[in-house]
């Protein structure tokens, strides 16, 4: 099977006006998606977006492309990515489309697709869309054009779903929570969910203007939340990314609780209740402390490639339910079909309320290994595993760590960077090795 030409690990993403995110391409993408997803028989497709200013433009272009292919378009407005997955299933749509670049700055955007089952499209479907993208657009007859309308009750539908995942009689009364919505897609929904469950909510990042999404706020900047939670004497803080599929939390002491620790808390609580089916899936970036602690408990652990689609693939292969990434992208297939920041946060709160323990206590059951991650900018494709200088540097790094750590070098699937990650017992040694390896990678890139 040939490799995708336009699709990356999480749909199609780039800087708006450049690369693939230009009006002509997006119009053709809407048409191509309509031809494939409607299978020539019409149908309806949901379109949601985050709060980037470019969302208005891309939404209109996708609508035009879809309707020209004979597809009815249901416009949801700003909604979290997992909400689109959920509503695609419950509204029996042919597909769902999300306009978002997740945790990236406002000037980037992206387009990703969900199948009728609420899961990311497989490679075959993406390749089929790409085949149409390389063809000339041919609009259906005027009598067969699709229609478009806005769905105004979608936030309420999704809020009720999120609340239902905590259990019918569950309450968050007595909890004071600071919620940072990153000026993104969760700004209308997340505060409402926690308030309606009884929590006192202090809002951050809830005033999007099209430009401030992920700007010094949200899960990519948890230090902001970490300062505010102790000042407000809150029990915890919750930070989402721009499209709401990631979550990072902060305990009452202002200590950041990342995705690995959240996965542990959720999995451990399910294990204690006898509801953990099998083991847990992490990724190549997951902290070794997570793997070690789960193994101590007798819980299986496997690593997938980075990206929620690969986590989900590994879960399905093993018939397991819970997995996630260090970034806070957490999947619970017993509840929903994709990573969901709000649902994941609720599962952590469930563990807290059921055990009457603080977030700080729960996360301290797992001790993380010191880890250093350096992103090296890379604007040209390079096979990092075929470069002798890089391989030599990798060997030196491995020799220094011996059996007390690990090294990972990989190209990002969502950003123009090469990720250099080193993990081990000795924090100073880990940092020095990561810096040396990053310098070696930069040196190689300068040759090209």
Token pair of 379 as six digits: 């604007």
Residue 84 lies in a domain: yes
Cβ atoms of 233 and 200 within 8 Å: the answer is no
Residue 213 lies in a domain: yes
Instruction: Write out the catalytic residue numbers.
Output: 102
Do residues 202 and 292 both lie within one domain?
A: no
Which of 228, 256, 284 is the last residue in one of the domains? 256
Residue 439 lies in a domain: yes
Do residues 341 and 385 both lie within one domain?
A: no
pLDDT tens-digit readout, 379-404: 777 777 778 888 888 889 888 988 77
Residue 181 lies in a domain: yes
Contacts of 372 (CB under 8 A, 6+ apart): 421, 422, 423, 430, 431, 433, 434, 435
Give the integer Cα–Cα distance in Å for 280 and 339: 14
Give the integer Cα–Cα distance in Å for 186 and 206: 8
Do residues 262 and 230 both lie within one domain?
A: no
Domain range for residue 347?
A: 258-368
The yes-or-no verdict on residue 347 having pLDDT over 60 is yes
Do residues 413 and 281 both lie within one domain?
A: no
Residue 231 sits in a domain whose CATH number is 3.40.120.10
Q: Three-class SS of residue 74?
A: strand
**Residue-level pLDDT at 378:** 83
Which of 326, 346, 368 is the last residue in one of the domains? 368
Cβ atoms of 146 and 70 within 8 Å: the answer is yes
Do residues 276 and 354 both lie within one domain?
A: yes
Cβ atoms of 9 and 414 within 8 Å: the answer is yes
Token pair of 225 as six digits: 């939340």
What mean pLDDT comes out for the span 49-78?
A: 97
Residue 324 lies in a domain: yes
Do residues 409 and 431 both lie within one domain?
A: yes
Do residues 28 and 119 both lie within one domain?
A: yes
Q: How many domains does the chain have?
A: 4
Do residues 81 and 32 both lie within one domain?
A: yes
**Residue-level pLDDT at 39:** 63
In order of 30, 31, 126, 155, 248, the CA distances from 132 in angstroms are 10, 8, 10, 33, 39
Give the angle 125-128-129 at the CA atoms, nearest 5°: 90
What mean pLDDT comes out for the span 143-163?
A: 95
Q: How confident is the model at residue 5 (pLDDT cuts 50, 70, 90)?
A: confident
Residue 400 sits in a domain whose CATH number is 3.30.310.50
Give pTM, 2 decimals: 0.89
pLDDT tens-digit readout, 207-236: 999 999 999 999 999 999 999 999 999 999
Residue 129 lies in a domain: yes
The yes-or-no verdict on residue 166 having pLDDT over 60 is yes
Residue 170 lies in a domain: no
What mean pLDDT comes out for the span 288-312?
A: 92
Q: Which of 300, 265, 268, 305 minimizes the C-alpha distance to 285?
A: 305
In order of 49, 111, 157, 202, 413, the CA distances from 20 in angstroms are 17, 10, 33, 39, 15
> CA 407: distance to chain centroid?
23
Do residues 296 and 425 both lie within one domain?
A: no
Residue 5 lies in a domain: no
Do residues 237 and 262 both lie within one domain?
A: no
Do residues 145 and 30 both lie within one domain?
A: yes
- Please tell me the total number of residues recorded for the chain in this structure: 448
**Residue-level pLDDT at 8:** 84
Which of 236, 256, 276 is the last residue in one of the domains? 256
Do residues 265 and 251 both lie within one domain?
A: no
């Amino acid at each position: 099977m040939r490799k995708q030409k336009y699709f990356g690990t999480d749909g199609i993403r780039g800087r708006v006006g450049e690369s693939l995110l230009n009006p002509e391409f997006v119009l053709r993408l809407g048409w191509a998606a309509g031809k494939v997803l409607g299978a020539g028989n019409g149908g309806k497709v949901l379109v949601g977006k985050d709060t980037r200013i470019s969302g208005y433009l891309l939404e209109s272009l996708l609508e035009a492309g879809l309707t020209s292919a004979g597809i009815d378009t249901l416009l949801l407005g700003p909604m979290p990515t997992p909400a689109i997955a959920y509503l695609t299933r419950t509204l029996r749509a042919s597909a769902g489309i999300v306009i978002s670049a997740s945790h990236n700055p406002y000037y980037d955007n992206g387009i990703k697709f969900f199948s009728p089952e609420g899961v990311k499209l497989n490679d075959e479907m993406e390749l089929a869309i790409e085949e149409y993208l390389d063809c000339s657009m041919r609009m259906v007859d005027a009598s067969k054009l699709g229609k478009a309308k806005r769905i105004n009750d979608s936030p309420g539908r999704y809020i009720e779903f999120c609340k239902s995942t905590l259990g019918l009689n569950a309450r968050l009364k007595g909890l004071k929570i600071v919620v940072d919505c990153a000026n993104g897609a969760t700004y209308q929904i997340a505060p409402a969910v926690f308030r309606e469950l009884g929590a006192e909510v202090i809002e951050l990042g809830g005033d999007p203007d099209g430009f401030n999404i992920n700007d010094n706020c949200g899960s990519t900047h948890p230090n902001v939340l970490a300062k505010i939670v102790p000042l407000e004497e809150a029990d915890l803080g919750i930070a989402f990314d721009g499209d709401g599929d990631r979550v990072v939390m902060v305990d009452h002491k202002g200590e950041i609780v990342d995705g690995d620790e959240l996965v542990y808390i959720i999995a451990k609580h399910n294990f204690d209740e006898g509801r953990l089916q099998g083991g847990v899936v992490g990724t190549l970036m997951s902290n070794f402390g997570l793997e070690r602690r789960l193994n101590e408990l007798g819980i299986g652990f496997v690593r997938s490639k980075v990206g929620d689609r690969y986590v989900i693939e590994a879960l399905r292969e093993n018939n397991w339910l819970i997995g996630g990434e260090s970034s806070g992208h957490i999947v619970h297939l017993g509840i929903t079909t994709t990573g969901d920041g709000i649902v994941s946060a609720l599962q952590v709160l469930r563990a807290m309320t059921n055990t009457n323990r603080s977030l700080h206590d729960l996360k301290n059951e797992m001790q993380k290994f010191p880890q250093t991650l350096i992103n090296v900018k890379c604007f040209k494709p390079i096979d990092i595993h075929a470069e002798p200088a890089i391989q030599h540097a990798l060997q030196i790094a491995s020799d220094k760590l011996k059996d007390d750590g690990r090294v990972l070098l990989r190209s990002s699937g969502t950003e123009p960077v090469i990720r250099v990650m080193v993990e081990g017992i000795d924090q100073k040694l880990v940092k020095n090795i990561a810096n040396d390896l990053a310098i070696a990678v930069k040196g190689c890139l300068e040759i090209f």
